[in-house]
Amino acid sequence: MRCFFRTIFCLLALAASGGGVLHAQINTEQVMNIGRNALYFEDYILSIQYFNQVIAQKPYLAEPYFLRAVAKISLDDWTGAEADASQCIEINPFIKDVYRVRAVARHNSHNYENALEDYEKALEMIPGDKELMLNMAMCHLALKHYNEADSCLKWVVERDSTVERAYLGLAQLRMEQSDTLQALDYISKAIDVDKTNVQAYLMRCEIYFNVVEDTEKALADINQAILLEPRNASLYINRSYMRYKVDDIRGTMEDLDYAISLDPNSVTAHYNRALLRSEVGDNNNAIDDYDFVLEHDPDNYPAFYNRTMMLINIGHYQQGINGLNALLDKDKDDFVALYQRAMLLIETRQYNLALRDMNTILAKYPKFEGGYMIRAQIKQRLGDKRGYERDLETAVNVMKSKGVHYSNYNPLDKEIKHSQDIRERRVQEHFDKQEEMRQLEQNMGSLEESVEDVKKRFSQLLVVDINQEILPEVSFDADGFYDEKAGHRRYRSRSRGYIQDNNVEVLPQGVFSLSFYSYDNKLNGRTHFMREMAQVNDMHVLNNALTLVCAPSKLSAYEANLRFASVDYFNGLLATSQPRPVDYLGRAMDFLMLRNVDAAITDADRAIELMPDFMLAYFLRFNARFLKLEVDAASSGESANAEASAMLNERMRQTEIEQMTADVNMVIRLSPRNPYAYYNLALVQAMRGDNSSALSSYSRAIELKPDLGEAYFNRGLLYMQQGDREKGTADLSKAGELGILPSYNILKRMTR
């Protein structure tokens, strides 16, 4: 559906001037035209920046809100698009396509009732629009208004028998009504209309495989889907399962291998291949696959259990013992695991631990004569002769009481069902959790989503690999290529096209820091200004002008040499003349740029001693201490006695945080309307775990500087972390509008 909407809105962008708005200023008209061009060429982020400029100058115009809503729709920012469309309607309710835009935004936010109202309003203004009627049908279907959905879809088919989406909608409707034969008929009609529709083949494949149980026909359909999308890893994973069901082991393995070559991070493919490898006796490679699965999904109980049993079977006893330890930590009454561990401990000559386990076993089963004989052997090897003799005597007495000379009795036989029940419960819990996450993802953005659901989903985003990027299937020289499968153009640049598809690491924007080099966001063209910084620059006493940046990059070799030369200059100056606070500030800046944080802090101290109200010195010292904390955190794990020194490291960390807090509070006292100080304070408060104060500080920073996108972004992350999806979504949408690109990827994954 997304690709369909995007196609429509790119066309709408060109026709948007139909709203009848006239522009008095040539510059505004030029900026609007540039924004339209950027929108047409799918530079959505850039187009938003141009529309921002027009809105800032002429907030009473409707068209820039409409076009900005179109751009946000293309970035999956449903909340921002709805807000802009609503503002456009408030200014000018006669731009007909704006109701379509807002309907789509509400539709994708699962706000179906309000989306239907907008679709109906749009149809009043554009009667006979088939796409609007299709979208209305999908809303009705989501709300289980089956009669209304059926009427809408048949209305479309009666007017145009070539709209395959209408047939697929009717098929979905019939499936929900348990009419499999009619659903298959509609899907076949969709395929007759468009034999390249992958969705149709997959829908029919699922029905054949899961409902009709005709694996041959299901395989034929998924084979056709693979011909159309040969680089879609999930198709090969699904086909491998079907092939396994018809005992095509070689085909199953080939599909899994190829799926992993296409998507090396697929946990499902690795898990399925591990199962298949273990089945064919390729144990070592199966363990490698299980290792991969557990690295990416540490709570995957089936993978952990299977790996443990496999390690035992191939003679890796100590690793098997470690696995059994973990299993028994979860389920202390798993008798089979306990018995297995006891036997392995004996095999590895860990007799004291084996004795502990056998004591537990015999306490539960005091008539287990074989257990006494095993324990007797353990005691003999431990040198406990009396214990050895006593256990042998007990074993004989138990057998006499049973009237046998030799017994095959083993409580393992009795307990095995209980242990199997434990494992089945754990496996079911794992799959239930997966299904819960799948349902949560399907329902993302719904108004009923709970605080705990939002927290859970947000926690899943915290370890996303920033380097995952969609790569073209063929080389190209231009900035992008047309992806026929996706229905749009793909780009190398992370700031063009559908940037929400580029996964980013979910981390807050960094600290605002003094610098000699600007690394600011070039999209929005904003520079960061502090009055005190400008005053120092006007003195022309430093070797470079001060700038303010968010999370500066590393120095190049050339820039580093300049800074070393500047340090030499200040060394000579301070040695031969009366030291001034600004001279220490200049050298401290050089040290900060060169990551010599201790020297930077020392020089900032000296500047403050000479001039206790020198705000920039406190700001710089805060920056240096913040950097020092990062360096200390990165190196703390390198100690050989890391565990022993953990408490000391934490105490040092708390001391550093207190010092940073004191510095930034001093900056605020000396410069009470400084938004960057409140922003930095919020970062420190969040590090302390004081999210309530951090939210307040971010809000104060935004109050002082309403276009501080970094503050919106970080506050949005905190809201999401607390489970407040509505506020988090609004802040991330605003941050994206202000040029903070990671916002759109997070919005996509949190609110789709």
User: Residue 567: how many CA atoms within 13 Å on its side-chain side?
Assistant: 18
Model confidence pLDDT, tens digit, residues 346-393: 999 999 999 999 999 999 999 998 899 999 999 999 999 999 999 999
Calpha distance 76→123 (Å, rounded): 23
More confident residue, 175 or 464: 175
* Cβ-contact 524, 52 below 8 angstroms: yes
Banded model confidence at residue 732, pLDDT cuts 50, 70, 90 = confident
Distance linking the first and last C-alpha atoms of the chain: 12
Question: What local confidence, expressed as pLDDT, does residue 53 receive?
Answer: 84
Beta bridge pairs of residue 113: none
Structure token pair of residue 703: 């109050």
Calpha distance 115→445 (Å, rounded): 14
Residue listed under structure tokens 């004291």? 352
More confident residue, 627 or 21: 627
**What's the Cα-to-Cα distance from 687 to each of 404, 608, 622, 683, 728, rounded to whole Å?**
69, 26, 14, 6, 19
Domain locations in the chain as residue ranges = 2-227, 512-666
Other C-beta atoms closer than 10 Å to the C-beta of 555 total 17
Calpha distance 448→440 (Å, rounded): 11
Which of 715, 263, 656 minimizes the C-alpha distance to 273?
263
Which fold would CATH assign to domain 2-227? Answer: 1.25.40
**What's the Cα-to-Cα distance from 371 to each of 362, 375, 390, 407, 678, rounded to whole Å?**
7, 6, 13, 11, 68
Question: What local confidence, expressed as pLDDT, does residue 10 receive?
Answer: 38
More confident residue, 281 or 522: 281
Mean pLDDT of the chain: 82
Contacts by residues 715-720 (CB-CB < 8 Å, ≥ 24 positions apart) = 715/682, 716/743, 716/746, 717/506, 717/508, 717/746, 718/686, 718/691, 718/694, 719/695, 720/454, 720/458, 720/746, 720/750
Question: What local confidence, expressed as pLDDT, does residue 743 receive?
Answer: 79
Spell out the alpha helix ranges (H) of 594-674.
597-610, 615-635, 646-670
Residue listed under structure tokens 């401990």? 345
Residue 35: phi and psi, rounded to 5, are: -60, -40
Question: What local confidence, expressed as pLDDT, does residue 159 receive?
Answer: 92
Same fold, 2-227 and 512-666: yes
Beta bridge pairs of residue 483: 488
DSSP state of 556: P
Question: What local confidence, expressed as pLDDT, does residue 746 receive?
Answer: 79
Question: What local confidence, expressed as pLDDT, does residue 671 receive?
Answer: 93
User: Residue 227: how many CA atoms within 13 Å on its side-chain side?
Assistant: 10
pLDDT above 70: residue 7: no
Question: What local confidence, expressed as pLDDT, does residue 449 receive?
Answer: 53
Residue 548 host element (H or E):
strand 547-550
Contacts by residues 297-306 (CB-CB < 8 Å, ≥ 24 positions apart) = 297/267, 299/430, 299/433, 300/267, 300/271, 300/430, 301/426, 301/427, 301/429, 301/430, 302/271, 302/427, 302/430, 303/271, 303/274, 305/423, 305/426, 305/427, 306/274, 306/275, 306/278
Calpha distance 473→122 (Å, rounded): 39
More confident residue, 236 or 639: 236
Question: What local confidence, expressed as pLDDT, does residue 519 receive?
Answer: 61
Model confidence pLDDT, tens digit, residues 29-78: 877 888 787 777 677 877 888 888 889 889 999 999 999 999 888 888 88
Banded model confidence at residue 650, pLDDT cuts 50, 70, 90 = confident
Q: Estimate to the nearest angstrom the gap between the alpha carbon of 717 and the chain centroid.
A: 12
Calpha distance 38→30 (Å, rounded): 12
Range name among 113-122, 290-299, 456-465, 736-745 with the lowest pLDDT average: 456-465
* Cβ-contact 495, 523 below 8 angstroms: yes
Calpha distance 161→196 (Å, rounded): 17
Burial tier of 284 (Cβ tally within 10 Å: 0-12, 13-18, 19+): exposed
The DSSP line for 454-492 is HHHHHHHTTT--TT--PPPSS--SSSEEEETTTTEEEES
Question: What local confidence, expressed as pLDDT, does residue 645 receive?
Answer: 56
Asked whether the CA dihedral 621, 623, 627, 629 is positive or negative, the reply is positive
Model confidence pLDDT, tens digit, residues 426-458: 878 777 776 666 555 555 444 445 565 555 545
Average pLDDT of 568-595?
90
Average pLDDT of 304-319?
90
Range name among 168-177, 361-370, 634-643 with the lowest pLDDT average: 634-643
**What's the Cα-to-Cα distance from 527 to each of 524, 532, 550, 734, rounded to whole Å?**
9, 15, 11, 18
Model confidence pLDDT, tens digit, residues 497-555: 554 555 555 678 888 999 888 765 555 556 788 999 999 988 888 888 998 988 666 67
Contacts by residues 595-601 (CB-CB < 8 Å, ≥ 24 positions apart) = 595/627, 595/631, 597/624, 597/625, 597/627, 597/628, 597/631, 598/628, 600/624, 601/625, 601/628
Question: What local confidence, expressed as pLDDT, does residue 478 receive?
Answer: 32
Average pLDDT of 258-265?
92
Average pLDDT of 592-616?
91
Q: Estimate to the nearest angstrom the gap between the alpha carbon of 90 and the chain centroid.
A: 35
Calpha distance 430→29 (Å, rounded): 57
CA 431-433-437 angle, to 5 degrees, is: 115
Banded model confidence at residue 627, pLDDT cuts 50, 70, 90 = confident
Question: What local confidence, expressed as pLDDT, does residue 8 receive?
Answer: 39
Structure token pair of residue 530: 């502090």
Structure token pair of residue 387: 């214990």
Calpha distance 238→651 (Å, rounded): 52
Which of 242, 485, 219, 226 minimizes the C-alpha distance to 204?
219
For domain 512-666, the CATH class is mainly alpha
Determine what percent of the chain is predicted with pLDDT higher than 90: 49
